[in-house]
Amino acid sequence: MFKNRKTALLLATLIIIIAAAAGVWLFMGNKGDDQSNTAQTPETKSLSQQFYIYDTVVSIKIFGDKVSQKNMDDIQQLLERMDIEFSRTKEGGEIYNVNLQAGKNAVAVSDETLDAIKQSIKYAEEMNGLFDPTIGPLVDLWNIGNGGEKVPQQAEIDKAKSLTNYKDIIIDEQAKTVKLAKEGMVLDLGGIGKGYAADRIADYLKSQGLDSAMINLGGSSIIGLGTKPSGAQWNIGLQDPDKSRGTQLGTIKISNEVIDASGVYERFFIQDGVRYHHILDPRTGYPSQNGLKSVTIMSPNATDADALSTGVFLMGYEEGLKYLESLPEKVEAFFITDDNKIYATPGIRERLVLTDPTYSFGN
Protein backbone atom coordinates (compact mmCIF):
# COMPACT_ATOMS: atom_id res chain seq x y z
CA MET A 1 0.00 0.00 0.00
CA PHE A 2 2.80 2.40 0.87
CA LYS A 3 5.58 3.30 -1.55
CA ASN A 4 8.28 2.75 1.02
CA ARG A 5 8.87 2.10 4.71
CA LYS A 6 9.73 5.72 5.43
CA THR A 7 6.37 6.88 4.14
CA ALA A 8 4.58 4.28 6.25
CA LEU A 9 6.42 5.34 9.40
CA LEU A 10 5.69 9.01 8.75
CA LEU A 11 2.00 8.26 8.21
CA ALA A 12 1.77 6.18 11.38
CA THR A 13 3.45 8.96 13.37
CA LEU A 14 1.06 11.55 11.93
CA ILE A 15 -1.97 9.43 12.79
CA ILE A 16 -0.77 8.98 16.36
CA ILE A 17 -0.25 12.73 16.76
CA ILE A 18 -3.71 13.52 15.38
CA ALA A 19 -5.37 10.86 17.53
CA ALA A 20 -3.63 12.07 20.64
CA ALA A 21 -4.71 15.65 19.92
CA ALA A 22 -8.34 14.97 19.12
CA GLY A 23 -9.48 11.36 18.90
CA VAL A 24 -12.85 10.00 18.02
CA TRP A 25 -13.68 9.67 21.70
CA LEU A 26 -12.31 12.12 24.25
CA PHE A 27 -11.55 10.98 27.79
CA MET A 28 -12.84 14.12 29.44
CA GLY A 29 -12.58 12.68 32.95
CA ASN A 30 -8.79 12.24 32.67
CA LYS A 31 -7.72 15.72 31.63
CA GLY A 32 -5.71 16.23 34.77
CA ASP A 33 -3.78 12.97 34.56
CA ASP A 34 -0.01 12.96 34.26
CA GLN A 35 0.84 12.55 30.59
CA SER A 36 4.07 10.63 31.16
CA ASN A 37 4.26 6.89 30.59
CA THR A 38 4.00 6.17 34.30
CA ALA A 39 2.12 8.24 36.84
CA GLN A 40 2.18 7.99 40.61
CA THR A 41 -0.61 9.30 42.80
CA PRO A 42 -0.75 9.00 46.60
CA GLU A 43 -3.26 6.18 46.20
CA THR A 44 -2.73 4.23 42.99
CA LYS A 45 -0.01 3.61 40.44
CA SER A 46 -0.91 3.89 36.75
CA LEU A 47 0.65 3.07 33.41
CA SER A 48 -0.28 4.41 29.95
CA GLN A 49 0.82 3.37 26.49
CA GLN A 50 -0.18 3.78 22.85
CA PHE A 51 0.28 1.31 20.01
CA TYR A 52 -0.26 1.74 16.29
CA ILE A 53 -1.97 -1.48 15.25
CA TYR A 54 -5.12 -2.59 13.42
CA ASP A 55 -4.43 0.45 11.20
CA THR A 56 -5.39 2.66 14.12
CA VAL A 57 -4.14 4.04 17.42
CA VAL A 58 -4.71 1.82 20.45
CA SER A 59 -4.55 3.59 23.82
CA ILE A 60 -4.35 1.68 27.11
CA LYS A 61 -4.30 3.14 30.61
CA ILE A 62 -4.13 0.77 33.58
CA PHE A 63 -4.47 1.59 37.28
CA GLY A 64 -3.28 -0.70 40.05
CA ASP A 65 -0.42 -1.13 42.50
CA LYS A 66 0.60 -4.34 40.69
CA VAL A 67 0.69 -2.87 37.17
CA SER A 68 4.03 -3.19 35.35
CA GLN A 69 5.54 -2.72 31.92
CA LYS A 70 5.23 -6.48 31.41
CA ASN A 71 1.47 -6.02 31.31
CA MET A 72 1.82 -3.56 28.42
CA ASP A 73 4.30 -5.85 26.66
CA ASP A 74 1.88 -8.77 26.99
CA ILE A 75 -0.96 -6.63 25.59
CA GLN A 76 1.19 -5.55 22.66
CA GLN A 77 2.05 -9.17 21.84
CA LEU A 78 -1.62 -10.13 22.08
CA LEU A 79 -2.62 -7.32 19.70
CA GLU A 80 0.15 -8.05 17.22
CA ARG A 81 -0.76 -11.74 17.15
CA MET A 82 -4.44 -11.10 16.49
CA ASP A 83 -3.67 -8.38 13.97
CA ILE A 84 -1.83 -10.95 11.83
CA GLU A 85 -4.24 -13.82 12.52
CA PHE A 86 -7.36 -11.82 11.62
CA SER A 87 -6.04 -9.73 8.72
CA ARG A 88 -7.32 -10.49 5.24
CA THR A 89 -4.39 -8.59 3.68
CA LYS A 90 -1.31 -9.64 5.70
CA GLU A 91 0.48 -12.54 4.03
CA GLY A 92 0.91 -15.56 6.27
CA GLY A 93 -2.05 -14.69 8.48
CA GLU A 94 -4.75 -17.28 9.11
CA ILE A 95 -7.63 -15.35 7.52
CA TYR A 96 -5.34 -14.46 4.59
CA ASN A 97 -4.66 -18.18 4.08
CA VAL A 98 -8.34 -19.11 4.34
CA ASN A 99 -9.11 -16.57 1.60
CA LEU A 100 -6.19 -17.78 -0.51
CA GLN A 101 -7.63 -21.30 -0.46
CA ALA A 102 -11.26 -20.23 -1.06
CA GLY A 103 -13.11 -22.84 -3.10
CA LYS A 104 -10.13 -25.22 -2.84
CA ASN A 105 -8.89 -26.40 0.53
CA ALA A 106 -9.70 -26.23 4.23
CA VAL A 107 -7.16 -24.33 6.33
CA ALA A 108 -6.14 -25.15 9.91
CA VAL A 109 -6.52 -22.18 12.26
CA SER A 110 -5.86 -21.36 15.90
CA ASP A 111 -8.50 -21.67 18.62
CA GLU A 112 -8.65 -17.86 18.74
CA THR A 113 -9.35 -17.45 15.02
CA LEU A 114 -11.85 -20.30 15.03
CA ASP A 115 -13.69 -18.68 17.94
CA ALA A 116 -13.82 -15.29 16.19
CA ILE A 117 -15.18 -16.88 13.00
CA LYS A 118 -17.81 -18.87 14.91
CA GLN A 119 -18.93 -15.75 16.74
CA SER A 120 -19.16 -13.89 13.43
CA ILE A 121 -21.40 -16.62 12.02
CA LYS A 122 -23.58 -16.45 15.14
CA TYR A 123 -24.09 -12.70 14.69
CA ALA A 124 -24.84 -13.21 10.98
CA GLU A 125 -27.51 -15.79 11.82
CA GLU A 126 -29.06 -13.61 14.52
CA MET A 127 -29.19 -10.55 12.24
CA ASN A 128 -30.33 -12.40 9.12
CA GLY A 129 -27.12 -11.70 7.23
CA LEU A 130 -27.03 -7.93 7.76
CA PHE A 131 -23.79 -8.59 9.58
CA ASP A 132 -21.85 -10.88 7.22
CA PRO A 133 -18.19 -11.85 7.72
CA THR A 134 -17.93 -12.79 4.02
CA ILE A 135 -18.51 -9.18 2.93
CA GLY A 136 -14.87 -9.06 1.79
CA PRO A 137 -15.55 -9.08 -1.99
CA LEU A 138 -17.71 -5.97 -1.65
CA VAL A 139 -15.19 -4.31 0.69
CA ASP A 140 -12.40 -4.95 -1.82
CA LEU A 141 -14.52 -3.75 -4.74
CA TRP A 142 -15.50 -0.43 -3.18
CA ASN A 143 -12.05 0.00 -1.57
CA ILE A 144 -13.28 2.96 0.47
CA GLY A 145 -10.61 4.80 2.41
CA ASN A 146 -7.67 3.78 0.22
CA GLY A 147 -7.83 6.51 -2.43
CA GLY A 148 -9.15 6.57 -5.99
CA GLU A 149 -12.65 5.49 -4.96
CA LYS A 150 -15.54 5.51 -7.40
CA VAL A 151 -18.92 3.81 -7.65
CA PRO A 152 -18.38 0.37 -9.22
CA GLN A 153 -20.32 -0.91 -12.21
CA GLN A 154 -23.52 -2.77 -11.33
CA ALA A 155 -22.21 -6.00 -12.89
CA GLU A 156 -19.19 -5.84 -10.56
CA ILE A 157 -21.44 -5.28 -7.55
CA ASP A 158 -23.68 -8.20 -8.53
CA LYS A 159 -20.67 -10.51 -8.84
CA ALA A 160 -19.32 -9.47 -5.43
CA LYS A 161 -22.77 -9.94 -3.87
CA SER A 162 -22.93 -13.50 -5.25
CA LEU A 163 -19.76 -14.28 -3.29
CA THR A 164 -21.10 -12.82 -0.04
CA ASN A 165 -22.90 -15.46 2.02
CA TYR A 166 -21.91 -16.50 5.53
CA LYS A 167 -23.66 -19.84 4.98
CA ASP A 168 -20.80 -20.78 2.65
CA ILE A 169 -18.28 -20.86 5.52
CA ILE A 170 -17.49 -24.50 6.27
CA ILE A 171 -16.09 -25.25 9.74
CA ASP A 172 -14.72 -28.55 10.97
CA GLU A 173 -14.47 -28.06 14.73
CA GLN A 174 -12.74 -31.36 15.39
CA ALA A 175 -10.03 -30.69 12.81
CA LYS A 176 -10.06 -26.93 13.59
CA THR A 177 -10.26 -26.02 9.93
CA VAL A 178 -12.14 -23.37 7.94
CA LYS A 179 -13.02 -23.45 4.26
CA LEU A 180 -14.84 -21.02 2.00
CA ALA A 181 -17.11 -22.89 -0.40
CA LYS A 182 -16.58 -20.71 -3.49
CA GLU A 183 -13.46 -19.44 -5.16
CA GLY A 184 -13.32 -15.66 -4.90
CA MET A 185 -14.97 -15.50 -1.48
CA VAL A 186 -13.21 -13.25 1.06
CA LEU A 187 -13.59 -13.63 4.81
CA ASP A 188 -13.34 -10.27 6.58
CA LEU A 189 -13.38 -10.06 10.39
CA GLY A 190 -13.17 -6.26 10.40
CA GLY A 191 -16.71 -6.10 11.74
CA ILE A 192 -15.75 -7.68 15.08
CA GLY A 193 -11.95 -7.59 15.15
CA LYS A 194 -11.47 -4.55 17.36
CA GLY A 195 -14.22 -5.55 19.75
CA TYR A 196 -12.85 -9.08 20.03
CA ALA A 197 -9.35 -7.71 20.75
CA ALA A 198 -10.70 -5.29 23.36
CA ASP A 199 -12.44 -8.16 25.16
CA ARG A 200 -9.24 -10.22 25.16
CA ILE A 201 -7.32 -7.29 26.69
CA ALA A 202 -9.96 -6.95 29.39
CA ASP A 203 -9.84 -10.69 30.08
CA TYR A 204 -6.06 -10.57 30.37
CA LEU A 205 -6.11 -7.63 32.80
CA LYS A 206 -8.70 -9.33 35.01
CA SER A 207 -6.55 -12.48 35.07
CA GLN A 208 -3.68 -10.32 36.36
CA GLY A 209 -5.79 -8.87 39.15
CA LEU A 210 -6.07 -5.49 37.40
CA ASP A 211 -9.64 -4.24 37.35
CA SER A 212 -9.35 -0.52 36.64
CA ALA A 213 -8.43 0.45 33.08
CA MET A 214 -9.41 2.42 30.01
CA ILE A 215 -9.07 0.37 26.81
CA ASN A 216 -9.50 2.33 23.58
CA LEU A 217 -9.10 0.71 20.18
CA GLY A 218 -9.11 3.58 17.73
CA GLY A 219 -12.11 5.29 19.30
CA SER A 220 -14.59 2.79 17.85
CA SER A 221 -14.28 0.14 20.59
CA ILE A 222 -13.83 1.41 24.14
CA ILE A 223 -13.99 -0.49 27.43
CA GLY A 224 -14.17 1.28 30.75
CA LEU A 225 -12.97 -1.57 32.96
CA GLY A 226 -14.19 -1.18 36.52
CA THR A 227 -14.06 2.39 37.80
CA LYS A 228 -11.35 4.97 38.40
CA PRO A 229 -9.26 4.34 41.53
CA SER A 230 -11.36 6.94 43.32
CA GLY A 231 -14.47 4.92 42.61
CA ALA A 232 -15.75 7.48 40.10
CA GLN A 233 -17.06 6.38 36.72
CA TRP A 234 -15.18 7.02 33.51
CA ASN A 235 -16.42 10.22 31.87
CA ILE A 236 -16.43 9.81 28.08
CA GLY A 237 -16.74 12.70 25.65
CA LEU A 238 -18.70 11.74 22.54
CA GLN A 239 -17.40 13.01 19.20
CA ASP A 240 -19.67 14.93 16.87
CA PRO A 241 -20.36 12.58 13.90
CA ASP A 242 -19.48 15.49 11.61
CA LYS A 243 -15.76 15.21 12.31
CA SER A 244 -15.01 18.38 10.34
CA ARG A 245 -16.52 20.36 13.23
CA GLY A 246 -13.97 18.94 15.67
CA THR A 247 -16.38 19.20 18.59
CA GLN A 248 -18.07 16.80 20.98
CA LEU A 249 -21.81 16.44 21.16
CA GLY A 250 -21.99 15.38 24.80
CA THR A 251 -20.66 13.19 27.58
CA ILE A 252 -21.65 9.95 29.25
CA LYS A 253 -20.31 8.11 32.31
CA ILE A 254 -19.57 4.40 32.25
CA SER A 255 -18.14 1.63 34.44
CA ASN A 256 -17.59 -1.99 33.41
CA GLU A 257 -19.17 -1.10 30.10
CA VAL A 258 -18.36 -0.93 26.41
CA ILE A 259 -18.97 1.86 23.93
CA ASP A 260 -18.80 1.00 20.23
CA ALA A 261 -19.73 3.31 17.37
CA SER A 262 -20.21 3.01 13.61
CA GLY A 263 -20.82 6.01 11.42
CA VAL A 264 -20.74 7.46 7.93
CA TYR A 265 -17.94 9.83 8.93
CA GLU A 266 -15.23 7.20 9.40
CA ARG A 267 -14.34 6.41 5.75
CA PHE A 268 -16.19 7.78 2.75
CA PHE A 269 -16.01 9.51 -0.62
CA ILE A 270 -18.41 11.80 -2.45
CA GLN A 271 -19.45 11.29 -6.06
CA ASP A 272 -22.08 13.39 -7.86
CA GLY A 273 -23.07 14.93 -4.54
CA VAL A 274 -23.72 11.55 -2.83
CA ARG A 275 -21.70 10.38 0.17
CA TYR A 276 -20.65 6.76 -0.11
CA HIS A 277 -19.38 5.43 3.23
CA HIS A 278 -17.77 2.17 4.30
CA ILE A 279 -20.81 0.49 5.90
CA LEU A 280 -21.90 -1.78 3.06
CA ASP A 281 -25.31 -3.44 2.92
CA PRO A 282 -25.00 -7.10 1.81
CA ARG A 283 -28.57 -6.95 0.48
CA THR A 284 -27.83 -4.23 -2.07
CA GLY A 285 -24.06 -4.25 -2.38
CA TYR A 286 -24.06 -0.48 -1.79
CA PRO A 287 -23.32 1.69 1.25
CA SER A 288 -26.45 2.08 3.33
CA GLN A 289 -28.55 5.20 2.71
CA ASN A 290 -31.07 5.14 5.56
CA GLY A 291 -30.86 8.61 7.07
CA LEU A 292 -28.43 7.67 9.85
CA LYS A 293 -25.15 9.39 10.64
CA SER A 294 -24.07 6.98 13.34
CA VAL A 295 -25.07 4.28 15.80
CA THR A 296 -23.47 3.90 19.22
CA ILE A 297 -23.91 0.65 21.13
CA MET A 298 -23.31 0.22 24.87
CA SER A 299 -23.11 -3.29 26.30
CA PRO A 300 -21.06 -5.43 28.70
CA ASN A 301 -19.26 -7.16 25.80
CA ALA A 302 -17.11 -5.42 23.14
CA THR A 303 -17.41 -8.20 20.55
CA ASP A 304 -21.19 -8.04 20.73
CA ALA A 305 -21.15 -4.25 20.56
CA ASP A 306 -18.83 -4.24 17.53
CA ALA A 307 -21.02 -6.59 15.51
CA LEU A 308 -24.25 -4.91 16.63
CA SER A 309 -23.04 -1.44 15.68
CA THR A 310 -22.75 -2.60 12.06
CA GLY A 311 -25.87 -4.74 11.82
CA VAL A 312 -28.12 -2.35 13.72
CA PHE A 313 -26.87 0.58 11.61
CA LEU A 314 -28.00 -1.27 8.49
CA MET A 315 -31.39 -1.97 10.06
CA GLY A 316 -32.06 1.74 10.47
CA TYR A 317 -33.43 3.52 13.52
CA GLU A 318 -36.90 2.00 13.92
CA GLU A 319 -36.05 -1.61 13.04
CA GLY A 320 -32.74 -1.40 14.89
CA LEU A 321 -34.39 -0.15 18.08
CA LYS A 322 -36.95 -2.96 17.97
CA TYR A 323 -34.20 -5.51 17.45
CA LEU A 324 -32.20 -4.27 20.44
CA GLU A 325 -35.31 -4.36 22.62
CA SER A 326 -35.85 -8.01 21.62
CA LEU A 327 -32.41 -9.15 22.80
CA PRO A 328 -32.28 -11.20 26.01
CA GLU A 329 -29.26 -9.25 27.31
CA LYS A 330 -29.42 -5.56 28.16
CA VAL A 331 -27.97 -3.49 25.32
CA GLU A 332 -28.34 0.28 25.10
CA ALA A 333 -27.89 2.45 22.02
CA PHE A 334 -28.42 5.84 20.49
CA PHE A 335 -28.92 6.71 16.84
CA ILE A 336 -28.02 10.04 15.24
CA THR A 337 -29.98 10.95 12.12
CA ASP A 338 -29.04 13.22 9.24
CA ASP A 339 -31.12 16.03 10.76
CA ASN A 340 -29.04 15.89 14.00
CA LYS A 341 -31.72 14.22 16.07
CA ILE A 342 -30.68 11.68 18.69
CA TYR A 343 -32.92 8.67 19.31
CA ALA A 344 -31.85 6.78 22.41
CA THR A 345 -32.92 3.76 24.39
CA PRO A 346 -34.27 4.72 27.85
CA GLY A 347 -31.09 3.68 29.66
CA ILE A 348 -28.97 6.08 27.62
CA ARG A 349 -31.58 8.84 27.32
CA GLU A 350 -31.24 9.55 31.05
CA ARG A 351 -27.42 9.30 31.11
CA LEU A 352 -26.36 11.19 27.97
CA VAL A 353 -25.56 14.85 28.68
CA LEU A 354 -25.75 16.92 25.48
CA THR A 355 -23.31 19.84 25.29
CA ASP A 356 -23.75 20.86 21.64
CA PRO A 357 -26.99 22.70 20.85
CA THR A 358 -26.77 21.44 17.25
CA TYR A 359 -28.13 18.14 18.54
CA SER A 360 -31.37 17.39 20.35
CA PHE A 361 -33.29 14.31 21.40
CA GLY A 362 -35.91 13.12 18.95
CA ASN A 363 -37.62 10.80 21.43
Domains of the chain by start residue, with CATH: 46-66+213-361 (3.10.520.10)
Q: What is the mean pLDDT of each run of 10 residues along the chain (363 residues)?
A: 41 42 36 38 83 90 97 97 95 97 98 97 97 97 89 98 98 98 97 95 98 92 95 91 73 95 86 92 96 94 95 95 91 95 92 93 90
Annotated ligand binding at 145? The verdict is: no
At residue 34, the pLDDT reads 35
At residue 145, the pLDDT reads 84
Annotated ligand binding at 218? The verdict is: no
The residues pairing with 271 across neighbouring beta strands, listed in sequence order, are 274
Phi, psi of 67 (to 5 degrees): -65, 140
Enumerate residues 6+ apart whose C-beta is below 8 A from 269: 144, 149, 150, 275, 276
Please say whether the beta carbons of 143 and 156 come within 8 A. Answer: no
Please say whether the beta carbons of 280 and 132 come within 8 A. Answer: no
At residue 241, the pLDDT reads 80
In order of 54, 55, 184, 289, the CA distances from 100 in angstroms are 21, 22, 9, 32
| CB burial of residue 149 (10 Å; 0-12, 13-18, 19+) | middle
Query: How far is residue 56's CA from residue 61's CA, in Å, rounded to a whole number?
Result: 17
What single-letter amino acid sits at 105? Answer: N
Query: How far is residue 55's CA from residue 84's CA, in Å, rounded to a whole number?
Result: 12
Annotated ligand binding at 306? The verdict is: yes
At residue 263, the pLDDT reads 86
User: Which is nearest to 138 in space by CA: 152, 122, 121, 119?
Assistant: 152
At residue 12, the pLDDT reads 45
User: Which is nearest to 248 in space by CA: 354, 349, 341?
Assistant: 354
Both ends of the chain: CA-CA distance in Å?
45
Query: How far is residue 300's CA from residue 76's CA, in Å, rounded to a whole number?
Result: 23
Please say whether the beta carbons of 149 and 142 come within 8 A. Answer: yes
Query: How far is residue 326's CA from residue 323's CA, in Å, rounded to a whole number?
Result: 5
* DSSP state, residue 153: P
User: Which is nearest to 278 in space by CA: 308, 324, 322, 314?
Assistant: 314
Q: Which helix (H) or strand (E) holds 215?
A: strand 212-217
Please say whether the beta carbons of 129 and 309 come within 8 A. Answer: no
Please say whether the beta carbons of 50 and 23 come within 8 A. Answer: no
What single-letter amino acid sits at 287? Answer: P
Please say whether the beta carbons of 278 and 188 come within 8 A. Answer: no
Enumerate residues 6+ apart whose C-beta is below 8 A from 298: 254, 257, 258, 259, 260, 305, 331, 332, 333, 347, 348
User: Which is nearest to 169 in space by CA: 117, 119, 128?
Assistant: 117
Q: Which helix (H) or strand (E) holds 268?
A: strand 268-271
At residue 243, the pLDDT reads 65
* DSSP state, residue 276: E
pTM above 0.75, yes or no: yes
